[in-house]
Amino acid sequence: MTDYSQELSLALSAVRNAAEICQLVQRRIGSSAMAKSDKSPVTMADFASQAVILEAVGRAFPNDCLVAEEISTELQQEPELLGEVTTLVQRFHPQATSQQICEWIDRGHGAGGSRRYWTLDPIDGTKGFLRKEQYAIALALYDGGELVLGVLGCPNLPADPTRKLINPAITPIEQAQGGLFYAVRGAGAFVTSLDGHHLPRPIHVSASHNLHEYRVCESAEATHSRHDASATIAQSLGVAGEPVRMDSQAKYACVASGRAEIYLRLPTRAGYRECIWDHAAGVMVIEAAGGKVTDTTGKELDFSQGRHLSANIGVVATNGIHHEKIVAAIVAQQQSLAAQQ
Ligand SMILES: Nc1ncnc2c1ncn2[C@@H]1O[C@H](COP(=O)(O)O)[C@@H](OP(=O)(O)O)[C@H]1O
Ligand SMILES: [Mg+2]
Ligand SMILES: [Mg+2]
Ligand SMILES: [Mg+2]
């Protein structure tokens, strides 16, 4: 069994560096985002984070396939934004040129599939990032037909589950002990603080069996997950509390560390297929923490299909205790909706 210790230490340090850049930008950002051709937002931090991480991973593992969200094509059309990205990346690579940085970003054009690959979301939850709320830097490794390593940098989600969510508008960086959640298959899931001041601590999903008290989390964006459907499902399961709406894979870290028991992601439009970088790191962390993840039909997520979860519909992540019952409630609701049409 490969221990992946070299891959893990590289991933942790690369995500830490990217988190430093993202925290700087989030605190000063107005709403300076660029709209990509798919109308979704991207900021200088998304690009700089991807450049810094893919430079490190590509240098250490030059033969690995890299699958990342961003490409530099549209950035190259925006000289001012490219200049800001270059300044951010030069914090770690003082001699780097804009052209080199675009090359590092574009290393992520890989197709993925069944052979070994890394997948990166340099900022997952860009909309949350722009609202100065939750976001995650998500890096994962797929090898030998399965996810084997996942790292989630969550600058606004404290490593200590008893602490409140960090508000970057009022919490200075040096006091913001955001969490670095990580896992290697077969070796458990851990959290440490992004600032490196705390020793890693094992994390585990909630052991609660009481559905009435279950805490549900879901996307903050109603265009990313059906809020009406999740409310009906929660009610049918007897869940009493209101859902926590949160951006990014920080939701996976919440379930993995026992802050919530269920993460529902119910498709808002037929045919939408999730991107692998939106889930790989979170799935690895939550499974290693004792949780379970399937799609909304109960099928395991298949990360061998390329850049998208083409064989899956939606996502259901839980502490594993009532997973089948939760999926059955989703299936029943989908069937009753279909019968009404
Ligand atoms: N219609 C849709 N359904 C599901 N996810 C979507 C979506 N449109 C965009 N997304 C993805 O939702 C991600 C954010 O997840 P969440 O909604 O949980 O915060 C976005 O990642 P980025 O922010 O990296 O672009 C984006 O990839
Ligand atoms: Mg995006
Ligand atoms: Mg994303
Ligand atoms: Mg992203």
If asked whether residues 157 and 272 sit together in one domain, one would say: no
CA–CA gap between residue 61 and residue 142 (Å, rounded): 13
- Closest ligand 1 atom, residue 218 Cα: 18
If asked whether residues 20 and 124 sit together in one domain, one would say: yes
If asked whether residues 198 and 215 sit together in one domain, one would say: no
Give the residue from 181, 202, 223 where a domain finishes: 202
Closest CA to 115 of 264, 306, 281: 306
Residue 46 Cβ contacting ligand 1 at under 6 Å: no
Note the pLDDT of residue 30: 63
The amino acid at residue 42 is V
Domain that holds residue 118: 4-202
Q: What is the mean pLDDT of residues 255-274?
A: 96
Name the band, by pLDDT with cuts 50, 70 and 90, for residue 243: very high
Nearest CA to ligand 1 atom 27: 278
ipTM: 0.99
Strands across the sheet containing 244-245: 244-245, 216-218, 262-265, 315-318, 292-294
CA–CA gap between residue 259 and residue 238 (Å, rounded): 19
| Residue 228 is among the residues annotated as catalytic for this protein | no
All residues at 6 or more sequence positions from 239 whose CB lies less than 8 Å from its CB, including other chains: 211, 212, 214, 216, 262
- H helices of 138-279, in order, are 227-237, 250-256
Note the pLDDT of residue 129: 96
If asked whether residues 188 and 302 sit together in one domain, one would say: no
Q: Indicate which CATH number applies to the domain containing 74.
A: 3.30.540.10
User: What's the whole-number average pLDDT of the chain?
Assistant: 95
Of 86, 119, 126, 318, which is the active-site residue? 126
| Residue from 278, 279, 308 whose mutation best tests the ligand 1 pocket (most atoms within 8 A of CB) | 278
CA–CA gap between residue 228 and residue 192 (Å, rounded): 35
Residue 287 Cβ contacting ligand 1 at under 6 Å: no
If asked whether residues 333 and 185 sit together in one domain, one would say: no
Using one digit for the tens of pLDDT, what is the confidence trace for 86-109?
999 999 999 999 999 999 999 999
Q: Taking 60 as the threshold, does the pLDDT of residue 286 lie above it?
A: yes
Closest CA to 283 of 247, 320, 246: 320
If asked whether residues 242 and 307 sit together in one domain, one would say: yes
Under 8 Å between Cβ of 180 and 191:
yes
If asked whether residues 129 and 234 sit together in one domain, one would say: no
pTM of the entire predicted model = 0.97
If asked whether residues 194 and 219 sit together in one domain, one would say: no
| Residue 46 is among the residues annotated as catalytic for this protein | yes
Q: What are phi and psi of 299, to 5 degrees?
A: -80, 145
Q: Indicate which CATH number applies to the domain containing 249.
A: 3.40.190.80
Under 8 Å between Cβ of 259 and 165:
no
If asked whether residues 96 and 195 sit together in one domain, one would say: yes
Residue 272 Cβ contacting ligand 1 at under 6 Å: yes
